[in-house]
Chain A
Amino acid sequence: MAGDLYRKPIMFAVVATVVILIGTVATMFYPMLTAEMHPKLENLKPFTALQLAGRDIYQREGCVNCHTQTVRPLKTEVLRYGEYSKAGEFAYDRPFLWGSKRTGPDLARVGGKYPDAWHYRHMENPQSMFAQSNMPAYAFLKEAKLDAAETEAHMKALSFPYQKEEIDALGAKTEMDAVVAYLQVIGTAVKKAVAPAEAQAGGIKGSHIPNPLAGKAEAIARGKELYSRDCASCHGADAKGSIGPSLVDDEFLYIKGDLPDDDYFEVVNNGTTEGFIEDGRAEKGGMPPFKDSLQKDDIWSIVSYLRSLKGR
């Protein structure tokens, strides 16, 4: 009987179709009907016109071929990139852009990690900030103007809400503006945890503790090495500032006068968050945290090195 199947092509095709559809229904079609495949975080917002234009360019340039957008719940991955990805973050992602290869770093938490200026410089010429990087230069995006009508059509296709003024404003923007706007919103529906600062440095709130490695030649040398690796691309090789502020002038960290050692430590450790009040001063934001890629002594070494530049 079963042997007949191989003499009846139509019957064979029907049986083959059914066999193929079982796994299809179980793992692809059935889940689609359940709520767990359509989660949405409360504070997740649809893309603005500028962000969507940026996302379109991100797709066009094939950024997804080298950059993933999903942090796995693995210890070192959370350390390197930030909070692991949640299902509810991607409700407006058509298609998803999780990617499958990390030739460059994951971008799931890149939103708000660096100031805009960092992205403009990096996209234009990645090697100017990281000499050994293999990322192509995207300077041409600076010259290309956005097509407002096209973006409006895309917003309509996706049924995203927008204001007329928002579309009108696109005409004056470049593709680079759009990409940076998109990068800055990726992963921001999940709030960053702000660690209590003093605890990180090993001190007690309200008091200050000194740098245990202050003035030590070995620490200064180590600090210099780390500075050129992690800090120079933003603060300049001489620490006189570029994207980030000068670290050797009197305006440093937007206050006059000396900065206590452990506040210095904190800024490197936690980064800065716009509007966050620390020791009575409001931070401007823009500094990424280094607590997960530098050891405590490394950070103290950098502080020692920077102090040695000023001689105090």
Chain B
Amino acid sequence: MSDYQYDNQTVKGFIVSSIFWGVVGILVGLLISVQMWKPEMNFPPLFTFGRLRTVHTNILAFGLGVGAIFGLSYYILMRLVKRPLLFPKLARVQLYLFNVGILLGGVTLLLGMTQSLEYAEFEWPIDIAIVILWVMFAVNVFGTIIKRREEQMYISLWYIIATVIAVAVLYIVNNLSIPASLTKSYHLFAGVNSANVEWWYGHNAVGFVFTTPILAMFYYFLPKSTGIPIFSHRLSIIAFWSLVFAYLWTGAHHLIYTPLPDWIQTLGIVFTLFLIAPSWGSVINGYYTVGSDWSKMQTNYLTKFFLMGITFYGLQTVQGPTQGLRVVSQLIHYTDWVPGHVHMGTMGWVTMTTAASIYYVIPKIYNTEIYSEKVANIHFWFVLIGQLLFSITMWITGIQQGALWKAVNPDGSLKYTFLETLTRNYPFWQMRTVAGLIFTVGMLFFIYNVYMTMRKGKALASTTA
């Protein structure tokens, strides 16, 4: 066990860092949710909705998301190859650079330095830092796998390898730009082409940050927590290859009815529909795994996190393709429906699965038990209710908005001014803030539980030493 000690420190470092950035990102999210219905809560120039929204999305995607992915991937990797990381010091440097990078990223966005490409807002110097981080990650992942002590590569490793490759290609290509100064650049691609490259990237950032690495966690930690092996290895092979094949075709469903050539839109829609199959391959595998012994839902507190997580993944991957259809897109695109959809994925699937994985890992690292299963259960119910309230409220708002924008008088003239359609959102947006608060309280229970477990572990270590 002793040769794992150093690497565990890095894993722990990434987990704690990602939780820290998670808190920052969620608090910013709460503030911008209030700004939607209370414009006086904007404090220009730094703290306006326009600048803070990118801080919210980037800090959560790159700080909470990627931070947890780095830490938990390393944890999974070491166990699956039965050896410590090949370059433990490199991983430690990566941890420090990660935190500096996210801090600089957040500050520069606040200062208005942005490429205006959704989920690729960081300016080019930060992009270079992120590419360096990713190369460090890739070197350790591939190096450790090549020097492995277990011949067969388990499913989770496939997803980690796919993540490393796809994110590298996506991130580098979409961030190609013409630098005009240290803090400003212009996209190398212009107009419709710029749009096509951005959404090829944007949708696959969802695919290879919020899907494949989370599936790696799911396929590893669900069997570990429950003691039940994955239901079908064959199904996981089919699901893996069809998922990583189909994802890259689908970006254009973000550009339906825009001036993007129609054939690219249609191709995007077709592959988006196809994507239901591999997504549900994992959902079915998850359900049948737990289904072989439902009593785990009662006896193991983590089972419900994973099952709820994969349920939201299943709902997400049916709702997504539905939204991709032209007939649905024309109603809900550009409305609040879309943030409702995104938050089901991030708050439901990603955060639920990641939190459960952290609950599993932290006691293992400290050689102890979780501080309180009861607190974990309270956490579960708060985030579940908060997330459902959030998403359902936004779906209702979105349909209303879309319908009001389209409403016409008997003579065909528009029925509502834009302002009239806006003011009807206010009660829903207030409800969304309440939902966010409920979710945040749940996350505070989670952080408290993790903190107390670590404290307990430390106390234990000092008495046995």
Measured CB to CB, the residues of A under 8 A from B are 6-7, 9-10, 12-13, 16-17, 19-24, 26-28, 31-32, 36-39, 56, 59-66, 68, 70, 72-74, 76-77, 79-80, 85-87, 89-106, 126-127, 130, 132-140, 150, 153-154, 156-158, 229-230, 291-296
Contacts and interface: CB of A to CB of B under 8 A. Distances in A.
A68 B334 contact: yes
B378 to A, nearest CB: 33
A66 B196 CA distance: 20
A136 B169 contact: no
Interface string B145-168: 110100111000110011001100
Contact of B191 (A26, A87, A132): A87
Given A132-B422, A133-B39, A294-B413, A28 B251 contact: yes
Interface of B: 35-39, 42, 44-45, 48-51, 53-54, 112-118, 142, 145-146, 148, 151-153, 157-158, 161-162, 165-166, 169, 173, 178-181, 184-198, 200, 241, 244-252, 254-255, 257-261, 264, 267-268, 271, 330, 333-336, 338-339, 405-409, 411-414, 417-419, 422-423, 426
A104 B417 CA distance: 12
A90 B259 contact: yes
A153 B248 contact: no
Contacts of B158: 6, 12, 16
B181 A150 contact: yes
B330 A23 contact: no
Nearest to B334: A102
Contact of A95 (B42, B162, B186, B264): B186
Contacts of A65: 49-50, 53-54
Contacts of B191: 38-39, 87, 89-93, 96
A125 B417 CA distance: 20
A292 B180 CA distance: 42
Given A59-B114, A87-B259, A140-B45, A24 B169 contact: yes
A27 B248 contact: yes
Nearest to A105: B418
B68 to A, nearest CB: 22
A22 B248 contact: yes
A23 B248 contact: yes
A3 B60 CA distance: 37
Contacts of A133: 39, 419, 422
Sorted nearest first, the 10 A-B pairs with minimum C-beta distance are: A62-B50, A23-B248, A90-B191, A60-B112, A95-B187, A136-B42, A157-B180, A72-B257, A23-B249, A87-B259
A51 to B, nearest CB: 14
Nearest to B37: A134
Contacts of B152: 6-7
Nearest to B47: A136
A134 B422 contact: yes
A62 B114 contact: yes
Given A16-B162, A74-B330, A24 B248 contact: yes
Nearest to A70: B258
B192 A94 contact: no
B39 A66 contact: no
24 contacts: A6-B153, A9-B157, A16-B244, A17-B165, A19-B244, A27-B252, A28-B200, A61-B50, A62-B112, A62-B114, A64-B50, A72-B330, A80-B405, A85-B259, A90-B191, A93-B194, A95-B189, A96-B187, A96-B192, A98-B258, A102-B334, A106-B334, A139-B44, A230-B417
